[in-house]
Amino acid sequence: MELLTWCRLQWDRALAVAAMTAGVVMVLIGWIGVSGTPFVAKQVPYIISGGIGGLVLLVVAATLWLSADLNDEWRALDALDAKVLGVESDQAAVAALEERLRVLELLARLPQGEPTPAPVPTGGVRQRRAPGPRATAS
Amino acid sequence: MTSRSPLAPVPSTRRPSLTLAAVVFAVGVALVVGGWWGASGASSLAAQIPSLNIAVAGLVVSLVGSTVYLLDFRRQLNPRLQRLTAQEEET
């Protein structure tokens, strides 16, 4: 049961194992066929089907296995990209909160009795005059 | 000279299609089967040589298809890897 689950999830690696097994078997069959006859004209078909065909299957197996590895790497990069995007959006939220805090601190430093300025939108910070002693009219 | 910020959107990369590689493999296997078919029907070695060449061509086609597919996959992965590495160095 676990093997079936593994084959379903890792179908490319399962196919690679199957192709590799088939390739090795074909090469063995080709070798047996070639060694069983002294006539070159009878050996050539075994060389083609067993030798070259087995090599093609081995190439397919190697490609499938390496492709599975590269797919794993691609998915890992997808996960890293998603994490980086999450960090960037968190940083934007922190920057907005810091700006809002700075505005509130400026509001709190205003002297008592002065009319409260209109609420400042959080999108930007207005430059304010630093609070100091007020000039008295003589 | 302008340099791209590491946080700039990455150029779109696509995952190479295994289907295209499978088609190339199918062509390679068909050439090998055709070569075997021709060689098994000929009685002399001289008549089998062209079929043997066709089979070798099938092997070469499979090798080229495999190499192109894997190199294309690696070429698509590298920009994403470099972008993430640049972000890591910046932070």
Residues 31-60 (B) with a CB less than 8 A from some CB of A: 32-33, 35-36, 39-40, 42-45, 48, 51-52, 55-56, 58-59
Q: Cα–Cα distance between A129 and A29 in angstroms, integer?
A: 92
Q: Which of A40, A45, A73 sits opposite B40 (nearest CB)?
A: A45
Find out whether B48 and B42 touch, Cβ atoms under 8 Å.
Answer: yes
Q: Per-residue pLDDT for A137 more than 50?
A: no
Mean pLDDT of A67-94: 86
Chain B residue numbers touching A23 (CB-CB < 8 A): none
Residues above pLDDT 70, as percent of chain A: 80
pLDDT (tens digit, 9 = 90+) per residue, A20-36?
999 999 999 999 999 99
B50: left (phi over 0), alpha (psi -120 to 50) or beta: alpha
| Residue whose pair of structure tokens reads 């960090």 in the numeric block | A87
Select the residue of B25, B32, B84 nearest A52 (Cβ to Cβ). B32
- Which of B15, B51, B56 is opposite residue A74, by nearest beta carbon? B15
B36 contacts A53? CB cut-off 8 A: yes
Average pLDDT over residues A48-75: 94
**Nearest-5° Cα angle at B29, A66 to A13:** 25
**What is the value of pTM for the model shown?**
0.70
Percent of chain A with pLDDT over 90: 49
CB contact under 8 A, A41 and B55: no
Question: What amino acid is encoded at B22 in this protein?
Answer: A
Classify residue A14 as exposed, middle or buried by CB count within 10 Å of its CB (0-12, 13-18, 19+): middle
Give the span between the Cα atoms of B35 and A46, in whole angstroms.
Answer: 11
